[in-house]
Structure 1
Amino acid sequence: MSHPPGIRTWSELRAFALSLGLPKVEDAVSWGNPNLKAHGKMWCWWSPYVDAAIFKGTREEREVLLDANPDTFVMHPHYANTGLTLVAAGRIDPDWAEARLRRTWRDMAPKRWLASHDAGQG
């Protein structure tokens, strides 16, 4: 049984990320390319070099993902010296993307703001 394709475009990723309802997320343009910023920092975007979404992470995580599933997790030389993870268009699993976006959003939040935010959700 085949599964429906994952997120395929920047428009779909943007809509998906915004649907998470996380505060302090806004549309932005950096280096001429649209992206979403969280807490004023680039949070997720689409690569201008390869048809793939870009998520923040670590080099170690990226290497594990690349080894485990090279059809889904891809690389472009422009990103080799970063901790960014590229996920091929149509192969972006929404559950994986949600977990990664939520974790990155929390990691990027100023600690004092995050403590206040978490207290308000209690």
Structure 2
Amino acid sequence: MGSINIAEKLGLITEYWSPRTVATVNDYDVRLVKVQGEFVRHQHVDSDEFFLVIDGELTIRMDDGDVTLRPGDLYVVPRGTHHQPVSAVETTLLLFEPSETVNTGDAGGPMTATSTPI
């Protein structure tokens, strides 16, 4: 396996809120995603969720207060914590989560996307 150029892979992503897997580490996916607007409020009962902002700005709304991330910032939402990612501008993220994790967690619905390799 050769190296992976993140900028090149992000250039292939055309849909918002639809993560793409760029690598797998044991049972975890390294995923890239472009986001803009509001995502569904949800939780992941069995897993933490790792967010790293590559470009743009992301706010994670939570019951205990919002967390705002800018390029280079990362945050881990603890398992079982309801959260809602929101971004006023196009934002690119790197996610690191178990391969079986569904983006909408327990909420389901029309924003559910299966992470596919890119």
Q: Normalized against structure 1, the TM-score is what?
A: 0.29
Q: Higher strand share goes to which structure? A: 2
Between Structure 1 and Structure 2, whose CA radius of gyration is higher? 1
Q: Higher helix share goes to which structure? A: 1
Q: Normalized against structure 2, the TM-score is what?
A: 0.29
